[in-house]
Amino acid sequence: MPQPEDETIAIMVEADKIASLISTAHSLLEDGKLVDLSALEGKVAELCRRFANIPTEKTEPFRATIKDIMASLDLLAAELARQNEKVLKVRAGSNARHAATAYERDD
């Protein structure tokens, strides 16, 4: 069974990995690229599991980190929603142009 000190280190390592993944996702979105968040989802689930398994009195050092991660995830969700809206608008415009072109053809 892991010692509380080991679990504390593991939580900090997981939190750092999550912060790095979120930062990378923000950068990719700024560059207009699509982002795969499957790794992030697993890391957040693991962090939550580890955090739930430590004694309450030992959670104080992590509260600010967890709040920062939550705020970053909220911002990322908003960015993803904006990206999704853009993609849907482009697709809708493309479909409309394609349909208009199809009806304009002389057979």
For the chain of 107 residues, list the mean pLDDT of each consecutive stretch of 10: 70 91 93 87 89 84 89 94 85 65 60
Structure confidence at residue 57 (pLDDT)? 84
Structure confidence at residue 50 (pLDDT)? 86
Q: What is the SS3 assignment for the chain?
A: CCCHHHHHHHHHHHHHHHHHHHHHHHHHHHCCCCCCCHHHHHHHHHHHHHHHCCCHHHCHHHHHHHHHHHHHHHHHHHHHHHHHHHHHHHHHHHHHHHHHHHHHCCC
pTM: 0.72
